[in-house]
Structure 1
C-alpha cells in the first residue's frame, strides 16, 4: 500500500489583467501522516501528463477544452483530476520522480524505490539511465556458519553468539 494520499478538495478562479482568467486547484497531499497543500493550474497537470507518458502509462486526463467559467464543469474537472492523481498512485508501486516533484514531495523515507529520472528540471531523459551495481558481494550466504576451511572466522556470527550466550552467563 502506498504511503501517499491525494485529494483535490477545492478550486478557485483567478482573474488577471495580463491574461484571461484561469482556475487553480488545491491539491492536499498526505505523506506519512504529514499533510501539505500545493496549488496547480490545469496546464501543470497537462505538462505532468505529457512527461509521465515517457516513463509510465498514465490514466486518461480530463479534457483540456472546457468552459472555465461554468461551476458544474469545473467541479467535474476537479473530480477528474483527483481521480487521475489517485489512479497514478494506486497503479504504480514506484512513483516517478516527476510525479513526486509535482506534488512537492521532497523527502520520501518510507518508500526506498523512487525513480531518479524524469523530473521537471532535466529535459533529457536519455542521459538518465538507472544502473544498479552491488555494493558488497558474497560468494555464499553470509548468514550460514563458516565452513572449516575458511581462513577468517565470521566476526559477526561470533559476536552475536558471544553476545547472546556469554552475556547471559555473566549476569548470573
Structure 2
C-alpha cells in the first residue's frame, strides 16, 4: 500500500545555536503514485517505536548512541531507521499511528477515520507497468531494414523473442 524511504538528513540550527538532525522521510502511496515528504527527528522515531511496540511485534529499533555525530554515524542511523520503517510497513496490518506519523492518513483513509489499521494483505505484488501504443512498434516504410538499436533493446526487454515481432 505504501513504500517508505529515508533518502537524506540534514542539521537544523535554531536561533539559540542549538542544533539537531532531521531525517527526510519519503512515502510513496502505491495506489495513487503520490509522494509525501516529512522531516522527523530521531526522538520522534523513538516515540513512534514505543507506540508501535504496544500494538505489534516491531523490527529492531536502532539504538541511541552517545557518540560524536559524524557523517558516518548519521548515515548508519539513516539506513537503520529506513530499514526499521520498511520492516513495519511490510506487516499485514499497517498501524494507524504509523500513517499519522508519516502524515499520510488523509490520502489512505479519506473519510474512514474510524479504522484503527489498514489491511495491506491485498497489496500489489508487481511494479507499475509502462504501456506503449501498438503503433509504436510499426516500422516506418522510409526506414531501411536495419533496426534502431534502442528499439531492439526495448523490444528485447519487453518480449522473449523479438524476431516474432519483426514485420519484414
TM-score class, shorter-chain normalisation, is 0.5 to 0.7
How far off its partner does 1:14 sit? 1.2
Aligned 8 A contact 1:23 1:68 in 2? no
Aligned 8 A contact 2:8 2:78 in 1? yes
Query: Structure 1's 30 and 66: CA in aligned 2 closer, same or farther, altered over 3 A?
Result: farther
TM-score by length of 1: 0.59
Cα distance between partner residues in 2 of 1:11 and 1:34: 21
Q: What corresponds to 2:95 in structure 1?
A: 96
**Poorly superposed stretches of 4+, deviation over 6 Å:** none
How far off its partner does 1:67 sit? 3.0
TM-score by length of 2: 0.61
**1:14 matched to 2:12:** yes
Q: What corresponds to 1:37 in structure 2?
A: 37
Task: Give the structure with the larger strand fraction.
Answer: 2
Task: Give the structure with the larger helix fraction.
Answer: 2
Which of 1 and 2 has greater Rg?
A: 1
Q: What corresponds to 1:52 in structure 2?
A: 52
- CA RMSD of the aligned region, Å? 2.2
Deviates more, 1:50-59 or 1:11-20: 11-20
Higher RCO structure, 1 or 2 (CA under 8 Å, sep 6+): 2
How far off its partner does 1:17 sit? 3.9
Aligned 8 A contact 2:3 2:86 in 1? yes
Q: Secondary structure at 1:64's aligned position in 2?
A: coil
Query: Where does structure 2 lack aligned partners over 5 or more consecutive residues?
Result: 118-168
From 23, 43, 52, give the equivalent of 1:25: 23
How far off its partner does 1:69 sit? 2.6
